[in-house]
Amino acid sequence: MTTLPDEAKLRDALGVLKDREQVAERLLLASDQHSFDPDTELDWDAPFEEGKWFWPPELVSLYDTPLWRRMSEEQRMNLARLENASLASLGIWFEVILMQLLVRHIYDMSPTSSHVRYALTEIADECRHSKMFARLIHKGGLPTYRVTPLHHNLARVMKTVSTTPGSFAGTLLGEEILDWMQRLTFPDERVQPLVRGVTRIHVVEEARHVRYAREELRRQMVTAPQWQRRMTRVTSGQSARVFALSFVNPQVYTDAGLDRHEAVAQVKASPHRREVMQAGAKRLTDFLDDVGVLRGVGRRMWKSAGLLA
């Protein structure tokens, strides 16, 4: 008899879940109407414009630190260029992980369902995005920044064994914070037109990915076995910590001619940077809180990652 309240709660929660097929059908329709081929959509032959930023200065990790105030405008713009390359490299890493998670997610499902057809559409989007980010790095003559071997291998394990709710919580972490920054970047007239074009395409297509992952995570946090829901709270906290550490590759500071240790310490101590990261994560953390991911030890990990106030 003690199980009755739980069952009633489950029925209530199921009531707010949207039909999986209906969600996918809407997303497929939107994909038909607004998908882009970056190779033809963007002008890759136009030279970069003198005096324009590769990333809005306020979103550069060192912005408003004592070190930033000592830097010349030229040094600041160069750091923004390198951070753009670091974020584009990170974007490719996330997308490759996500593609594998999506393939694993649909492996046992009906291949003709709309839910699976949308997952395949999203994988195709991510393929185009990864090539677009790589082309941007290449055109800018910029370095490719790789995460540390430890994080690279942690992700190898995670993408191979993660549970379905764990996979979708990780997906949202990879998508939503970068998306928040890109939403500020594409309308910004101080920014290089090519960077604005890349971020605009990404924002439009990512909105659907976020919707798909949110609906699925909400469903999973009601229907998945309890051990998976519990584990998701911890693994998402751990992923948030890895995410915060690898968000900007510290090699950018060395490449910009700065003292790497001093730069890392100043970023860590920067109230502006903390605000930016927490503002970027706010939409995501509100949602994760709502669906029951941010509890217990996992919640403390999100705080120690600096992504939750």
Instruction: Specify the residue, 132 or 267, whose C-beta has the smaller distance to Fe ion.
Output: 132
Please state, in angstroms and as integers, the Cα–Cα distance from residue 231 to each residue in 64, 160, 173, 186, 221, following that order: 38, 15, 16, 36, 11
Contact between 299 and Fe ion by CB under 5 A: the answer reads no
Q: Please name the residue ranges forming H helices in the chain.
A: 4-16, 20-33, 38-41, 66-70, 73-106, 114-139, 149-161, 164-185, 193-223, 226-246, 251-255, 260-269, 271-290, 296-304
Query: Which listed range, 106-114, 198-206, 215-223, 228-236, lies at the site for Fe ion (CB under 5 A)?
Result: 198-206
CA distances from 72 to 75, 189, 243 (A): 5, 21, 29
CB count within 10 Å of CB 13 equals: 16
Q: Which stretch binds Fe ion (CB under 5 A): 5-13, 31-39, 69-77, 208-216?
A: 208-216
Q: How many residues bind Fe ion (CB under 5 A)?
A: 3
Residue 214 sits in the site that holds Fe ion (CB under 5 A): no
CB nearer Fe ion, residue 209 or residue 273: 209
Give the one residue of 81, 159, 196, 209 binding Fe ion; rule: CB under 5 A. 209
Whether the Cβ atoms of residue 208 and residue 31 lie closer than 8 Å to each other: yes
Asked if 128 is part of the footprint of Fe ion (rule: CB under 5 A), the reply reads: no
Closer to Fe ion by Cβ: residue 240 or 263: 240
218 near Fe ion, judged by CB under 5 A: no
Binding status of residue 233 toward Fe ion by CB under 5 A: no
At a CB cut-off of 8 Å and minimum separation 6, what does 243 contact? 173, 174, 177, 305, 307
- Give least dist CB 206 to Fe ion, A: 5
Decide if residue 219 touches Fe ion (CB under 5 A).
no
Cα–Cα distance between 298 and 204 in angstroms, integer? 31
- Contact status: 200 vs Fe ion (CB under 5 A): no
Which of residues 170 and 306 has its CB atom nearest to Fe ion in the complex?
170
Which region, judged by CB under 5 A, interacts with Fe ion, from 57-65, 134-142, 185-193, 204-212? 204-212
Q: Pick from 81, 129, 159, 208: which binds Fe ion (CB under 5 A)?
A: 129
Q: What is the DSSP string of 103-120?
A: HHHHTTS-TTSHHHHHHH
Question: Interface residues with Fe ion (CB under 5 A)?
Answer: 129, 206, 209
